[in-house]
Amino acid sequence: MSEKIIIDCDPGQDDAVALFLAMSSPDELEILGITTVAGNVPLNLTQRNARIICDIANYKNAKVFSGCSRPILVDLVTAENVHGNTGIDGIDIFEPETTLRKMHAVDFIIETLSEAEANSITLVPTGPLTNIALAIIKDPSILNAVKQIVLMGGAMREAGNLGASAEFNMRVDPHAARVVFECGIPIIVMSLDVTHKVLTSRERVNEIESIGNSVSSATANMLKFFARYDSEKYGIDGAPLHDPCTIAWLLKEDLFSGKECNVRIETDSSLTLGHTSVDFWGVEGNTPNAIWIEDIDDVGFYNLLIDRLKRFD
């Protein structure tokens, strides 16, 4: 029986690859909707990018919704320096045929969860958590339908990539992140600690490109651009594939290992805003609220990705 999921994203090249991975796996995953939020680039671009990705994948079942254009309390910070002005630089941009649904993403999340059976839907946020948090704030009863939240965000050992101690998604909307981490639903966290272990490389990108279909070509071209920033800033050969780790965990959990921890989000300090405080050793005695993923079989991850990209025409 396939896992019912809602993907909440801010595409982003790595979000795009996560979407491709999910779309290639209909036996395991049923995508109920794709909701978009401002993050890597503004909302008008993230919703368009999600629809472009659906077009490239020829994904006819797409239900794409536009959500929140700014964080709950703080000003929006975007990442064009990483993702380019479009958010998915590396491919040609076009006006997508996939339509944008009229319903607001937050209302779609609430409606879908309100009508669902208990513990039946997994939320997969790969961007700032604004949409998810506002849905919870508007109608906390929807949490009854949520089986788990598998998200990309946070950092412990790897420090920060937006500020010295905060990961981008947590820092963009720290107040939303706090709502989500305090909601009581099991959370699986794909932080920088693990995503920095699945670096693209020239060899891996070349192998993806050699598959030869439109999706693999788009993936390779986006990853070539995406690697530019990390190569220039950190001197590494490749870029971390952050967001696809969420989908990969749903498809092949045994690629990953982690530990139950209590995770809290800093919302008061200007110095550490958005920091994920991970009580890894349980010294504070608080009940764990998340599984903090620390390690991954990177070869197995890329084997999975390449295998699934071959499924596209």
Residue recorded with tokens 């506002």: 134
Give the C-alpha distances (Å, rounded to integers) separating 31 from 26, 138, 175, 287. Answer: 8, 23, 27, 31
Q: Give the separation between CA 292 and CA 258, rounded to whole angstroms.
A: 5
Question: DSSP assignment of 213-257, as one string?
Answer: SHHHHHHHHHHHHHHHHHHHHH--SS-B--THHHHHHHH-GGGEE
φ, ψ at 96 (rounded to 5°) = -75, 150
How far CA 307 is from CA of 250, 256, 263, 310, in Å, comes to: 16, 18, 34, 5
| Residue 242 known to be catalytic | yes
In this structure, what are the phi and psi dihedrals at residue 160, rounded to the nearest 5 degrees?
-125, 160
Measured from the Cβ of residue 259, the count of other Cβ atoms closer than 10 Å reads: 15
Which residue is catalytic, options 83, 104, 175, 242? 242
Sign of CA dihedral 210, 216, 222, 227: negative
Residues labelled as active-site residues: 242
